[in-house]
Structures are given as C-alpha cells and as structure tokens.
Chain A
C-alpha cells in the first residue's frame, strides 16, 4: 500500500513557465514533508520542506503548498530553468521520523 503517491511519472514544461509537481498521501499522521531532487548518477538533494502546521513554505524559486484536508502537497518552481530537469521525490515523515517516499516525477524543462 503506497502511502505517498506521485501520480505523474513525468512532466514536461517550457523554460520560464511554472512547473507544478504533485504528491498525495494517505496517512493523516504524517507531520513533516520534504521534496528532494535527483540527477542521474547522483544521490537525491534536499530542496525544501514543510511542517504540517503550515500550509506554505517558500525558498527562492521553490514553493511548497500543503493541503491537509485533501492530503495533498505540491511543489511550484517559478520560473523553470533547464537545470531544474531532474527527478523530484516527495517524502513524508511518520511518528517514528521514518521517511516514506513517493516514486518520483521526472521533470523535463524544454528550451
């Protein structure tokens, strides 16, 4: 049973436009959420996180939105740049501080 789902395996966005990556979760006990980016042949790199007491967190071009009632979070990248092309993972933390990961979304930024 996948507790964290990223339903879009891939997403293609024009350079300069907004990229929106989505993530759904089923466990209402998750209280901390993170986004990681992964380039080929490298380990994931931390991007941004959000606590369940917030509904938005912003860091430069990256904003994460959390909708607890819908059990949904999204990552917005504005404006999208070629270097943003990567696989993006969302992860949720349970009461044991263990991270449960989504399957990832491959983001392709078209020039």
Chain B
C-alpha cells in the first residue's frame, strides 16, 4: 500500500510569509501527527489529529496551526514565518494512538530566508 506522502518536498519562503504543508496518511490510518526537526534536535511534537479533531498539541506558538479533512489528509500552516522556522517538517500516520507504530513521510524541508 502507498506510504505517507508529504508535499512539497522542498520549500523556500521569505520571512513574514505564510506556508501550508500537506500530508496524505496511509489508507485507513486516522491519526496524523506533525513534527519539527532541526539540526541537533530530536523531533519536536507540533500537534496530532484524529478524525478531524486536534487531539494533542505541543508547545509551539499560535502561528503554527493544522487541520485534518474527512479523508484523513492533513495540512499544517505556519503564518508570519521566522528564520527559526527553517526545519524539516515530518508527518506521521498511525491507525490509532500516535504512540503506536507510526509511519513517517519523507518530510518537507522548509527554508526561510
């Protein structure tokens, strides 16, 4: 079956702009989690959606938001981009709880200049 698909793979944006990233989970998976990875850091949890509802949220400012659609596809949005938002954004899908075996996409590499 198809894996987790994230689009776009690479993105360059200017400070102050906003960006939307997309994630299509594995068919049948209802939980989608988003993570930010920066060099030397582990994955920092952004939020988790399950059946179109945000079930958990990490410690990120309100500029970071997300949503999930009825087909389980998810988007995350970052508004008023800052240089420090440059990172690899990873999406993971799982059938149930996010602490079970999760399948990750290849990520979106966001560079803010």
Binding site for B on A (CB under 8 A): 4, 6, 9, 32, 34, 41-46, 49, 89, 91, 93, 96-104
Q: List 10 A-B contacts (CB under 8 A).
A: A4-B42, A34-B101, A43-B4, A43-B90, A43-B106, A44-B92, A91-B42, A99-B45, A100-B45, A101-B44
Per the bound structure, the CA–CA distance linking A9 and B92 in Å amounts to: 24
Q: Is the CB of B42 within 8 A of A103?
A: yes
Q: How many A-B residue pairs have CB under 8 A?
A: 58
Q: Is the CB of A103 within 8 A of B90?
A: no
In the complex, which residues of chain B have a beta carbon less than 8 angstroms from the beta carbon of A45? 104
Q: Is the CB of A44 within 8 A of B43?
A: yes
Q: Is the CB of B48 within 8 A of A46?
A: no
Q: Is the CB of B103 within 8 A of A32?
A: no
The answer to whether B70 has its CB under 8 Å from any CB of chain A is no
Interface residues of B, count at CB 8 A: 24
Binding site for A on B (CB under 8 A): 4, 33, 35, 40-45, 48, 56, 58, 90, 92, 97-99, 101-107
In the complex, which residues of chain B have a beta carbon less than 8 angstroms from the beta carbon of A97? 56, 97-99
From the candidates B41, B99, B106, B107, name the one contacting A99 in the complex (CB within 8 A): B99
In the complex, which residues of chain A have a beta carbon less than 8 angstroms from the beta carbon of B40? 9, 103
Which of B56, B92, B99: most chain A Cβ within 10 A? B99
Nearest first, the 3 A-B pairs at minimum CB distance are A43-B104, A101-B42, A93-B99
From the candidates B45, B103, B107, name the one contacting A98 in the complex (CB within 8 A): B45
From the candidates A41, A91, A96, name the one contacting B56 in the complex (CB within 8 A): A96
Contacts A93-B99, A96-B56, A97-B98; is A43 near B105 (CB within 8 Å)? Answer: yes
Per the bound structure, the CA–CA distance linking A103 and B41 in Å amounts to: 5
In the complex, which residues of chain B have a beta carbon less than 8 angstroms from the beta carbon of A93? 99
In the complex, which residues of chain B have a beta carbon less than 8 angstroms from the beta carbon of A42? 106
Contacts A32-B99, A93-B99; is A98 near B56 (CB within 8 Å)? Answer: yes
B102 vs chain A, min Cβ distance (A): 7
Closest to B88 in A: A43
Closest to A96 in B: B56
B40 vs chain A, min Cβ distance (A): 6
